[in-house]
Each structure stands twice: as structure tokens, then as C-alpha cells.
Amino acid sequence: MKASQFFIATLKEAPADAEVISHKLMMRAGMIKRLGAGIYNYMPMGLRVIRKVEGIIREEMNRAGAVELLMPVVQPAELWQETGRFDKMGPEMMRVKDRHDRDFIIQPTSEEVVTDIARQELRSYKQLPKNFYHIQTKFRDERRPRFGIMRGREFTMKDAYSFDRSPEAAARSYETMFAAYKRIFDRFGLTYRAVAADTGAIGGDLSHEFQVIAQTGEDAIIYCPTSDYAANIELAEAVAPAAPRAEPSAAMVKTLTPGKSTCADVAAFLGLPLTKSLKSLVLATDTRNEQGDIVGSTVWLLLLRGDHEMNEVKVGKIEGLKNGFRFATLAEIDEHFGCKPGYLGPVGLKKPVKIIADRSVAAMSDFCCGANEEDYHLTGVNWGRDLPEPDLVADLRNVVEGDPSPDGRGVLAIERGIEVGHVFYLGTKYSKAMNATFLDETGKPALMEMGCYGIGVTRILGAAIEQGHDARGIIWPDAIAPFTVAICPIGYDRSADVKAAADALHEELQAAGIDAILDDRGERPGAMFADWELIGVPHRVVLSDRGLKEGQVEYQGRRDEAATKVAAAEVVAFVKGRLKA
Amino acid sequence: MKASQFFIATLKEAPADAEVISHKLMMRAGMIKRLGAGIYNYMPMGLRVIRKVEGIIREEMNRAGAVELLMPVVQPAELWQETGRFDKMGPEMMRVKDRHDRDFIIQPTSEEVVTDIARQELRSYKQLPKNFYHIQTKFRDERRPRFGIMRGREFTMKDAYSFDRSPEAAARSYETMFAAYKRIFDRFGLTYRAVAADTGAIGGDLSHEFQVIAQTGEDAIIYCPTSDYAANIELAEAVAPAAPRAEPSAAMVKTLTPGKSTCADVAAFLGLPLTKSLKSLVLATDTRNEQGDIVGSTVWLLLLRGDHEMNEVKVGKIEGLKNGFRFATLAEIDEHFGCKPGYLGPVGLKKPVKIIADRSVAAMSDFCCGANEEDYHLTGVNWGRDLPEPDLVADLRNVVEGDPSPDGRGVLAIERGIEVGHVFYLGTKYSKAMNATFLDETGKPALMEMGCYGIGVTRILGAAIEQGHDARGIIWPDAIAPFTVAICPIGYDRSADVKAAADALHEELQAAGIDAILDDRGERPGAMFADWELIGVPHRVVLSDRGLKEGQVEYQGRRDEAATKVAAAEVVAFVKGRLKA
């Protein structure tokens, strides 16, 4: 490709509304162009990256035995009504009516349509397993689209769906996809982690997120540097402290703590470590009758160590809290504790509540908690002596750096990631709702076991840039760079030698299957180099009259500190040697 | 590709709602699956064809210097309001509101968005010419979607847009695209014709449709078998008869023609050739004030020869009729002719009307027309003698087979076609509405000259099948067949020799870059052959134990009457020799 036949539109400054570095750099490199909130034109430079990402995904999906098809963007509402998602999905699902006033949706995902295909096409166990995928435009009407294409409204997603005859077979399909995803992300050349994720109501352990590691990532990734353990923060287990609870060594004392209503303030005021203070969270659950009216409420006291945070997903799995919970009202708190928040605790309740303690809390002794009296806390509190053992001990909190790894093989570390892929075992959630059955070996209809597997194609671009950039611009991995090599001739329009050498190199690289762009725009060297560094092309070859007279060209990798002189005759071989396999 | 790893779903019968052969065959071959009215899933077999079509288009567009980008499916209404098309486009443009109640449209085409890109990105004449294209999902909410994917609602289109600094430069861009389209359609391997089309208000002659020839086509294509002339029926000029008008030879006579109100009936009743009868069409135009209220109307009498049909596009170009016309009401007809339709004519009007005669009509003598009296016609009517010469003589009619070619190099023939591509010079229609200017050589802003160039990607599939099929199924051209070669082993699961030979052939063909599918499903030969004939794979190689013992395999082209025995060792070379370049 010659630059003059392509479209290069770099900017000195990013637009003011670009918040994150990937958004800024994509705008400055002319890869995307905003059309509306969360809606972008993919400009030629950006589209090349998308096509390379899609190409790798397609090859590996096909290699894994998945079959590509294409499901429509505009989908009839009927199928979404079958699963109940037409009503359940919030306003992020865009709804539209056709000229006959019939309901349609702009697809945010395609479980319904693919299950409809499967129930018609896959009629016998002999046709299973089957995995259908497509790479298609999706639309999710985010309330606050942001971060450029990282959380846009229109985006491209690869979504695959597997159909199996049994949970065991579905687990094999899952493993096949998991392995394919690892190959895909390996080939992208990105640093990533496959982390275990929560499976929600489905249960089991077949859910993994593929996270591209980046300091700016929205997600906390928990991993053990000395083992394979990796999970997202929702799932990562906080194991019980290894040491048994210490014996009481202090008496329970009520202490004045005027205006100190947070654990941190109280601990500082009293000169106690934060790990000795107790955080009291009051939740409530409602009982409803068949009409949906609230007919009763239960109040729960959740206890966490002062330095820990509640994990909503874990709390949502507690028996009694599974069907939804809320924070208690001030009236409910006053009814049970006789005190306002900030000074609550499990000792001396006005009216009994269910007490659930985090595993760390159950191991605490001589701790400090609210006295259920304004401006007062208790110190030297001990389970069994000053109050009964908790009704339930459970894992209620987010893990923190340094917690023991659940696999017992080290301590946990935390890094930030950007979720770009997800593999998930669906069970019979959709096949049941849509009656997607096949005839098993005995000729009886059975529900298909499903899995779904997504990759945010356009999101990969943002994630790759968050991971790979420097002050000069983007640093693409070889496999997904818009161009692999930039040929930068100095004086292409003035020197016949430079022109001939640059043209020849361009042809040789192309013939070797290396995606090179020849910058024939006649820009000054500084501007030319700045463009390709901003765009992030990983390899650059500079040709000049002076160098060619000495039989040399200059090679510089995008991450290299300085250029390397290479014999002109050997530059193709040299570049090949620098490419990632 | 092995069939067991792919998805093959052929049907014995097409669904009842499939009207045309391409729709029936695509359904039976498992290429598409209906999701809703005019909305289809592209199943794996169909998607392979789409990808090959897209691949050829992409290569040739790039070769022609066009640059690919990707514009969104969901587009903000604002841009469409700038050009006025948000209101002008009828209900076929799907409109949708986002969660903030802002208006969006599902793109039917992308002139507005690409012009918005151009006015921001192309600021200097040095950046011109530029041609941007994308291959993207489109939606048009057709009132009556039909013919499968030939007139669907959601479809894939390649649309390109050129930007130039002058009409002359735009004409060069047009020629470049015209040449690229010829290469694209040549490579598809389809029989097609590039036909001149009407340019509407833009004027000039830069509009061509690319029509795939098929008896079932919706469009009439006019061409001259002895020259290059080709045009669509809207445009094809009906030249004036070469022979001058004959002198009158009969007297004008009023004749009773009871109940005969059509030209055909009257001519048959009177024993006259239809070419001697006159068809009188009464049109009206309205004058409106600034509020849009009708403040006056004009009545026009259009005269055609009895065997000719009115051409609305041509009539719409007549001065006075350019801004729209309608058929006159019965009241208006009575007011001017004093008679009801069926017996109208240009002689003896009650109130004067503007008379416009087709060129053929102006050359008629001794003709027959309505007498403006119920149940009566006049015969032996002659211009100049019985009535004044018409106010205007113009080309008002569709050409018919046998008319002289406008290039004077033969007579016209008519065939049927399916429009799958269109190249069109837009002038400054959009750049003016959206103020898309560039700075010219003198530093002054000037409007960009635009062209647009579309190819209906998914429609190509339907058109190719309408052109290529027989009683057994589809016949794809090599270049866009889902697979080029079907390898059909007889007893793949029983004979180690057959399996080894089939696997080896599969590998050899793949290594030679030939897209082969190995049918390892274990189907009986009859069913296997029927499947690949229905699917339309153009080349088939059959391997059997018996043949292999004699060192032979059987080759059969999809259009061949019978199979050819080929030495097993030479089959790859043989197949290569049978492939279209």
C-alpha cells in the first residue's frame, strides 16, 4: 500500500471530550471519528486493525470447529418475548417499530435467534455438538457511553453459541472454546489473563473472562503470582484466616467517640489498628404476596472487618438474600438498633436481627464496634463472651492484596484489566425458555445444553492501546497493527535512488507477505516519523541518499530506543527476523 | 473443509412462501433461513458466497484506489435533517429513538455520513480525488418484502462515494469506478450488462446500472445486438420514425364503436392495425401557492400510438410536467372533452388543452382516435388537416423490440435483468446541502463534486441463482461458489483406500489454493450427489474402490452431461484446467 492511495489523517491534539488514552490516541491517529454519542466511524486506519482482529478470530474459531453464519441486526421482538428478555432488558436494548407497527429490536446479542435456528436445524443427537458464531454489529444504548470505543453504543462483537447433548459434552465444548480463546489472545500479541468469573444462577465453574492487562482497566483482576489462580473480584474467594481466633485478653468497655462514625475515624481516634474494628452493614429483604405487594420485611446485620469491602455478588448468594436485598431504611435501623448509623454494632440489640459475619470477622477477638448509642463505641468485644456466635459465617468481602490464594499456593495480587472476552456455560436457560430440544439416542426429546462465547472486536482496539502506548503514540503488536512496516524514504520525490530503493523494498516486503506501507507523501522526515509513531506501526525502515550510498538503511522497532543500521541488501531478512511469529 | 465440520442442511421441498426460483433454491440449499418478513439469517453455506463476493469487490475497489472505512448502522437524524431526507424519505427508512428520545435512523444508505466525514477531513484540493467505501448492513423497510433476499429489508451493500474538485475530475472518478465495476462483474463470472440509466435532475449521462441478465428479472434492459448501446427502459430513447409523415389518403369519418373503449378493441372492431390508432392520456398539473394550497390546475393531453406505452420518466422531463403530474380527474376530463374516458381524442375539444404528441404519433396519418362522444371514434384523422399540429412533439414512450437503436447502428432488442449495481454522478446535491467545501488552488472554498457507487452484495446471490440454475439446483460460477470442488468419496467410512485417497486429494487441492469440501458424512452416493448439485458446487470428484483399483476417479462439472474418467494421479491438474481463471 502506498500512503498516497490510502487515507492518513493524524491530529496534533485530541478532542477535549476524549477521556482515556486509547480514545485520545485513536482520535489523533485518525482511526475513529465520532458520529454521535458512543457511535463512531471506523476510519481506514482503524478498520485495518479491526479486519486483522477479525481474521485471527475467524481462523481460530474455524480451527476449533465452530461454523460461521450471520444473524440479522434487526430482529423480531417475538423471539425476545419467548425468553422474557424483551421486557427484562432495560433501555440499553434499542427497540424499534416497523412500518406495520410491529416490534423489533436492534440486537445487543443473539441468544434468541441462534436458539431459534438450533431448535429448527439441530433435531438429532447426531448433529451435536455444534457451535455457530457470527461477527456482527451490535447496539447497546448505554446510559453514559464513554471511553471512545471501549464503552460505545454501536460496536462489533464475535458471539459464538455451542449446543450439546449433555452437561458433560457442554463442558467439553467450553474447554474447546477456552483453548481457542487462548490461541486467539496469544496471536493478538496482548498480555492478558483468563480469569474465573461468577456463573450466577447457573452454578458450576464454567465462566471465564479474558482480560487485557492495563493499569487503566475498569476491572480488578485477582491472581496468584506463584500459581495459576486467577479470578475476577466478584468471584475470588477470601478464605478463612488460618490462625484460630485468639482468646479474649481485654474487657469490653464503652468509650466516647464523639462524631466518629466511620471505622477509620474510630480506629484513629482510639489508636487501634483498623483490623480491630468492625463494620456493621444493615440490609433488609422483603416478602411479597402473589400480587407483588410487600407483606413483610426481614433485617440483617452484615459484619465486615473495618478494612474490608462488601462483595455484593457473594452476599447475593446467602440463603435468604438470594432473591434480592436492599440497604435497610433509617426507620428499620432505629427499630432494631435504637440508634442511627455510624454507631451500630452486634451487641445489645433493641430487636433481634440475623447476624452474618465475614470469615475474617468470625476470627476476630478484642474488637471494636458501635455501641448502638450515638457517639459511643465498644472496645475489647469478644464472640461468645460478650455476644452470641453469629448466626452465619460466610465469605462476604472482596479479597485484598496479600490474602492467601484459595489454591493454597501463595498470596493474592491484584492488577487492572479490560474485559474483552467471555466464555460462559449457559446450561438450559435459553433452550428451556424456547423449547429447543433434540432427539436423544433413545428417540426422546431432550433440552440442548448451551454455552456462549463473546469477543468485543472493536473493544480489542481500545484495550490494546491502553496496554501498548507511550508518549509518542500507539504501540501495536505485530499481528493487529494497521500496517506491519512503515517504509519512510527521505526525499522520495527528489531522489531517483531513494525512490527506486523504496519502491523495490515495498515490493519485496509485499511479496514476502509482509504488510508494508510506503510513505510517498513527501512529508518532512520529522512529520513522517511522528505520524507512524503516533499510528503505532511496529517496524520502520528509513531510506536516504546518504545511507544508500553506503549501502545501508535504518531500521527501528517501535519500542527501540534508537535506529539500527542494516545493509540495504539484507533489510527484508532483517525485518522478518524482527517479526513476532 | 470437511463436511462433518461444516453445516449442511438441504431440504427436499422449498417452503410455500418462496415465490421465485432463487429464493426456493437458497432455502432448499440451506443458504438462508427466514427470521421475519424480509429478514434472513445467512446460514454458513450462504455466508461463504457472501464472503467471496465481498472479497472480489474489496480487491477491485482497492485496486481502483478507493479506501475502505466503516460507517455505523445507527445514524443520528441530524445529518439526515441537513439534507432534508429525514422528512423526504418515506416509511422505508426505519426511524428509532434512543433512551434520551433523540432521533436516529437505521441506515438505508450513507450519503449524509460520508459527506459529513468529507467536509471535515478533505479540506484542500490536494486531498482530492478521494473515494471512500464500506461494506455494511443496510435496512429498508419495504412495504412488501419479497423474492427472498432479492427484495429483503435487511441486506448488505457495498456503497462507495467519490469526492472531486470539478465535474471533469468527477467524470474521471466515475470512469474509474465504471471500469472497476466491469472487472468486479467479470470476476463474478456472471452474464451482465452495464446499461445507461436516467440521471434525473442531475442531468448528464453519468449513470449506469449493472444488470445481471435473467429471464426472471424485474427490469427491462434495452440493447442493440449490433452495437454497444444499452440502456434501461426509463432512459432508452425512442427515436423519431425515419420516414416522413405520409400524406392524408382518407377522409375523417365518425364511426360507431359501441362499448369499445380500448385501442385494441377499437382497432379489432374496425379492422385497423393497432399502429393506426391513437391512445389519449389526460394528465393534470397543479399550481400551488406558498402555503402549498392548490390555486390552479392545467390539463394536458398526451398522445401515444395505440401499441405504445407511456414512459413516466420521459414525461416527467417535459417542461411544465417536471414538478410532478397526475392523471386528470373525471370532472376535469368532462370539463375539457365533454366525454368520459375511452372515447377521448384531440379533435373537437370542449375547452383547449396542451397537446403533446409522441414522436411516432407526429408521424401518423389516417389515424383513428376517440371522437369525444361516448361510443364513437373518428377514423382517417390527419394532422394539419383535421386538427392543428400538436403543441409539442417529444419522446414519451417506452421503446419496443425492433425500434431503431439511438446510435443508428441496428435495431433494439429487449432482455430482462436484475439490477445489482449502480454508478451515479451526484454533482453537488449533497455537498451543497451540507456545505461540504474544500479550498481550491486559489484558496477559495468550492463545493465538492460527488459520485456514488453501490453493489447489492446479498442481492448478487439471488441474481446469480436466477441466472444459473437447472432442475437439480443452483449452478454457481467458480469465483463465488460456496466451495469450488466437492470431493465425494463412496464408502469413506468403509474403505481405507477411498478414505486415504480422498484425504490426500483434499489436502492437495487445499495446498493448491482450491477451495474444496470433502464430504465425509457417509451419505449414500445418490443423496450426496443430489446435495452438491442442489448447493451448486461447480466441480465434483467422485472416488470409489472400483475406480481407484483402475487408478481412476470421476470428474463432473456441474453443467456437464456426464462424468469424465480421470487418472487419479492427474486429477488436481485436471481440475485446475477446468477452473475459470
Distance to chain A for B153, nearest Cα, Å = 9
Cα–Cα distance between B391 and B368 in angstroms, integer?
A: 19
**CB A425: neighbour CB atoms within 10 A?**
25
Place of cell 445514524: B75
From residue A108, alpha-carbon distances to A76, A91, A152, A219, A575 in Å are: 13, 11, 12, 21, 42
Angle at A178 between CA A176 and CA A181, to 5 degrees: 110
* Average pLDDT over all residues of chain A: 95
Place of cell 440499553: A92
pLDDT value for A323: 86
pLDDT value for A581: 60
Cα–Cα distance between A70 and A133 in angstroms, integer?
A: 8
pLDDT in tens, A268-283: 999 999 999 999 999 9
| Binary contact (A39, B76; C-beta < 8 A) | yes
Stated pTM of the model = 0.91
Cα–Cα distance between A10 and A12 in angstroms, integer?
A: 7
Residues in chain A closer than 8 A to B9 (CB atoms)? 121
Q: How many CB pairs under 8 A join A and B?
A: 135
Cα–Cα distance between A333 and A349 in angstroms, integer?
A: 10
Residues 6+ apart with CB under 8 A from B290: none
Do A249 and A374 form a contact (C-beta atoms < 8 A)?
no
Is B9 an interface residue toward A (CB < 8 Å)? yes
A203: pLDDT strictly greater than 80? no
Distance to chain A for B562, nearest Cα, Å = 33
Q: Three cell numbers at A417? A: 484489566
> Given pLDDT bands bounded at 50, 70 and 90, which one contains residue A15?
confident
Average pLDDT over residues A456-481: 97
| Binary contact (B69, A41; C-beta < 8 A) | yes
pLDDT in tens, A425-455: 999 999 999 999 999 999 999 999 999 999 9
| Assigned architecture for domain A3-237+414-465 | 2-Layer Sandwich (3.30)
Phi, psi values for residue B141, rounded to 5°: -80, 75
| Binary contact (A139, B73; C-beta < 8 A) | yes
At residue A211, the 3 state secondary structure works out as: strand
pLDDT value for A328: 95
Residues in chain A closer than 8 A to B69 (CB atoms)? 7, 41-44, 47
Ranges of beta strands (E only) in A95-166 are 95-97, 103-106, 130-139, 154-164
Q: Which of residues 84-143 of A touch B (CB under 8 A)?
A: 91-92, 94-96, 98-99, 104, 106, 113, 116-117, 120-121, 130, 132, 137, 139, 141, 143
Domain boundaries, chain A: 3-237+414-465, 253-394, 483-578
Q: Is the peptide bond before A129 cis (omega within 30 degrees of 0)?
A: yes
Residues in chain A closer than 8 A to B121 (CB atoms)? 7, 9, 33
**Percent of the residues in chain A that have a pLDDT greater than 90, as a whole number:** 92
Which of A73, A113, A141 is the closest to B99 by Cβ? A141
Q: Where are the alpha helices (DSSP H) in B435-522?
A: 457-467, 496-511
pLDDT value for B4: 93
| Binary contact (A41, B117; C-beta < 8 A) | yes
Residues in chain A closer than 8 A to B161 (CB atoms)? none
Distance to chain B for A326, nearest Cα, Å = 26
Average pLDDT over residues A535-545: 98
Counting other chains too, the contacts that B243-246 makes at CB distance below 8 Å and 24 or more residues apart are: B243/B363, B244/B363, B245/B362, B245/B363, B245/B364, B245/B365, B245/B383, B246/B365, B246/B366
> Given pLDDT bands bounded at 50, 70 and 90, which one contains residue A63?
very high
| Binary contact (B98, A94; C-beta < 8 A) | yes
| Binary contact (B35, A113; C-beta < 8 A) | yes
Query: Residue B339 pairs with which residues in a beta bridge?
Result: none
Phi, psi values for residue A161, rounded to 5°: -140, 125
> Closest Cα to residue B113, out of B69, B48, B166?
B69
Average pLDDT over residues A160-185: 97
Is B231 an interface residue toward A (CB < 8 Å)? no
Q: Which of residues 138-197 of B touch A (CB under 8 A)?
A: 139, 141, 143, 153-154
Q: Three cell numbers at A546? A: 546518504
* DSSP tag of A383: B
In CATH terms, are A253-394 and A483-578 the same topology?
no
Is A7 an interface residue toward B (CB < 8 Å)? yes
Helix axes A44-63, A167-188, angle to 10 degrees: 140
Residues in chain B closer than 8 A to A76 (CB atoms)? 35-36, 39
Residues in chain B closer than 8 A to A160 (CB atoms)? none
Residues in chain B closer than 8 A to A39 (CB atoms)? 72, 74-76
- A97, HSE (Cβ side, Cα atoms, 13 Å): 4
Residues of chain B with pLDDT below 70 are: 202-203, 581
Residues in chain B closer than 8 A to A42 (CB atoms)? 69-70
Under CATH, which number does the domain A483-578 receive?
Answer: 3.40.50.800
Cα–Cα distance between B424 and B130 in angstroms, integer?
A: 16
Helix axes A457-467, A21-28, angle to 10 degrees: 100
Place of cell 423519431: B240
Which of B35, B50, B116 is the closest to A72 by Cβ? B35
Residues in chain A closer than 8 A to B32 (CB atoms)? none
In terms of phi and psi (left: phi > 0; alpha: psi -120 to 50; beta: otherwise), the region of A176 is: alpha
pLDDT in tens, A498-529: 999 999 999 999 999 999 999 999 999 999 99
- Pairing type for strands B392-394 and B354-358 reads parallel
Under CATH, which number does the domain B253-394 receive?
Answer: 3.90.960.10
> Given pLDDT bands bounded at 50, 70 and 90, which one contains residue A479?
very high
The one-letter amino acid code at B64 reads A
Residues 6+ apart with CB under 8 A from B555: B539, B540, B541, B542, B563, B564, B565, B566, B571, B574, B575, B578
From residue B397, alpha-carbon distances to A562, B66, B225, B233 in Å are: 74, 39, 21, 9
Ranges of beta strands (E only) in B70-191 are 74-76, 95-97, 103-106, 130-139, 154-164
Cα–Cα distance between B551 and B548 in angstroms, integer?
A: 5
Is B19 an interface residue toward A (CB < 8 Å)? no
Is A35 an interface residue toward B (CB < 8 Å)? yes
Residues in chain B closer than 8 A to A7 (CB atoms)? 67, 69, 121, 130, 132
